[in-house]
Structure 1
């Protein structure tokens, strides 16, 4: 049995049955059998109907799903309900993808050797999908892994994050209630990471969808069976650049949201803020004052804006990184702890460039402010790490916006918005150590399918 506790106060929520090696083998046998039997493949119109019913079922229990996210994951209820709404819309997005997903014609007759032929492609599922999910969006992330598999026609086995399995388990139940036949979406909740690795590396798995740390993701990729493909979503140390022309009245609120949403436990959370020296003092004063106003505490209360970290261990780690930066000369504004899991938001001014808070993903309620004199210096600093995901530029100058957007090492650059902006249908991908492959529901469907060409000679 696995005990699930509330992130905020560590009180037990539920005990759930764990899966052993025999259960894993049964799930893999089932998934492989379904994929190999083309007569068992679910027609497109049935997949569309299943997803439409699923969205309706989720909408009917929206409030309960949001509260479950708040309890097991610690996300403030207001944000947890937003996550639920996004998850419902993500299911509907899967229907939209099914309406347009198709093969294409390949031109023939371009040479004498290719004359008298017509060629086209059809889209086929890649095979069994193994999905490893993360705790910070326990419902929406599994939607981003399970729904594309249903759209693509792939059997999927998903392992939720250890601290937050309940949202995933309930979603899988709803998928079955919506009419997905048995075996096409299976959950896997082992007590040990060894079994999770065995799932990923099994030769019957054709595709790995992984959301989590870079260390684990790249390790698992190195262990995949020959021919297996993967998509890895890791994290970053997201930079935001504030140009001299930026309007301080417009930028404080989005930067506070980008830095402290879900207590900073977001892979594109705004962490490094580079502000022009002419604005540095005024921005820091306004920003720190707004951060100090954030309501911190029980995530199940509607007024809470910042909840706990996922475990006491993570809270202690963030505190130690802050202490290291302060010992190295950083000025700390705010901070402190409310409980073993809940930290008050902190702002660090001019931490050392080699400190952990400047070079590694904090995944906590902390942002760092650095002053610069020339934007080239800010861009160079923003691009100085081996991670690259999303970035931001705040400016009223179009030339600066376009120039910085092109020069920043990022998969997406937001102009006058925080680094954590995302829609569920846009491409979402880390570069270099931050990830591999492309997320976002339509893009993940592409990752989980293959094109087969058919050539007719007449």
Structure 2
């Protein structure tokens, strides 16, 4: 496929192969953007930003709603392509495509709510003759750097609010699975987005992404991905807005008064959907010792029912991880935990990019499984004595995206809310849950800023204050 440079489809001799994570077959190729392509995209985006700023809100809404309709019309085509390039199951892919359409509709609704406020200058002595208010204006050009795990929906989480706010957009899609982002480009142009306001530049992040981030004409960078890359973006961005949604190793606490069956269900869906390749996947599970054996028995029973294999088959519950390098790393982390004393309850084996859904028991604190982000299909299950001990263990991480707690005690619920250092605390629900309209982001090294359409939209705008003196 060709890349999109200011509304024009461009090809280059230097190409990247997009491989199917399941069988290694070539799904397609994309060009590697040159320095000239990047300059062309940004310089045209400067003009595109001016066009977008003058585009009335009703027209932005029309574009977003039309894009949603077109996504739904091409949903099966996009779903199949998403399976082939990302390895997620066909059921997961269909859900992501429909979610993407919904995100554009949410963005259209929030565009209608862009407003400012009057300011009470007469509350300040000596300013009785002043009247004023503030308004919101687009930042200009938003760079959206998209991750491989949810490439379509997380792209929409960035560009939907950016368009709603009246910005031009430059998308850097994931290197491993950029193809559905390019289809999204076709749809946005067909929906009526000004061509100079949209570019999709393919190629390695170190070359293409870094050049975009460094350019002073880019006024905001919205990135989802690893902590290490997030730190590099902060070092290269200069004086511009930056929103970072980074890693996690999300904890789930299950007390003896919590709903055992529901907690197990949350662990299975949260730990193994999309092969565990989600920022808020359940990774660390802390279970009160009085119910530990019952929880483990039920968890292993449910995990054993998961069907892994060909992601195009309707009955498949879990497909491969994104590539063999990551599969090898995940296998090594599981092996490290076992070598340090953890026990395998179920799973633990790998064949190429397919890793068995794995449950690790009694996992030492100093393992990568407990301290880093696995981004793979394994959960660690440890026992705790007191609730305070569980809260302390949940907080013992450099991350802070989302945490879940299962309890029937209201005092424990509120103690968790007050104590847990996470951007989201879910009571009687797993940390994997997310509603697209809610503020979403993390404490500590899990990021800066918040996603969620309204909250992202506000960050993609500037506030301008207006004051009249009537004296």
The alignment's TM-score, normalised by the length of structure 2, stands at 0.95
Deviations 1:331-389 (A, max 9, x none): 00222445311101110001110001011010000000010110100100100111111
- Find the partner of 2:21 among 7, 20, 28: 7
- Contact kept, 8 Å, 2:267 with 2:282, in 1: the verdict is yes
- Find the partner of 1:396 among 394, 401, 408: 408
- Contact kept, 8 Å, 1:242 with 1:275, in 2: the verdict is yes
- Find the partner of 1:60 among 73, 78, 94: 73
Deviations 1:207-259 (A, max 9, x none): 11111100111121121122x01000101110000011122233211221011
Deviations 1:17-37 (A, max 9, x none): 2211110010011012333x4
- Aligned residues: CA RMSD: 1.3
- How many equivalent residue pairs? 456
SS in 1 for 2:121: coil
* Structure 1 consecutive aligned stretches of length 4 or more whose deviation exceeds 3 Å: 37-40
Pair 192,125 (structure 1): closer, same or farther in 2 beyond 3 Å = closer
- Find the partner of 1:148 among 151, 161, 180: 161
Match of 1:33 in 2: 47
Within-5 A mapping of 1:274-423: 274-337=286-349, 339-423=351-435
Within-5 A mapping of 1:39-118: 41-118=54-131
- Contact kept, 8 Å, 1:349 with 1:368, in 2: the verdict is yes
Match of 1:218 in 2: 231
Question: Hey, what's the Cα distance between the residues in 2 that align with 1:39 and 1:99?
Answer: 15
SS in 1 for 2:219: strand
Deviations 1:409-453 (A, max 9, x none): 111111111111001111100111110011111111111101101
Match of 2:469 in 1: 457
Residue 405 of structure 1, CA deviation = 2.1
> Which moves more between the two structures, 381-390 or 107-116?
107-116
Question: Hey, what's the Cα distance between the residues in 2 that align with 1:117 and 1:38?
Answer: 33
Match of 2:450 in 1: 438
Question: Hey, what's the Cα distance between the residues in 1 that align with 2:304 and 2:53?
Answer: 57
Deviations 1:389-417 (A, max 9, x none): 10000112222122212211111111111
- 1:271 is the counterpart of 2:276: no
- Find the partner of 1:19 among 33, 36, 42: 33
Question: Hey, what's the Cα distance between the residues in 1 that align with 2:406 and 2:205?
Answer: 45
Residue 64 of structure 1, CA deviation = 1.7
Pair 63,243 (structure 1): closer, same or farther in 2 beyond 3 Å = same
Deviations 1:109-158 (A, max 9, x none): 11342112211111101121111110000110110111111011111111
Unaligned runs of 5+ in 2: 1-14
Unaligned runs of 5+ in 1: none
- Contact kept, 8 Å, 1:255 with 1:417, in 2: the verdict is no
Deviations 1:36-65 (A, max 9, x none): x46873211110111111111111111222
SS in 2 for 1:388: coil
Question: Hey, what's the Cα distance between the residues in 2 that align with 1:179 and 1:282?
Answer: 56
- Contact kept, 8 Å, 1:393 with 1:405, in 2: the verdict is no
Question: Hey, what's the Cα distance between the residues in 1 that align with 2:279 and 2:261?
Answer: 27
SS in 2 for 1:100: coil
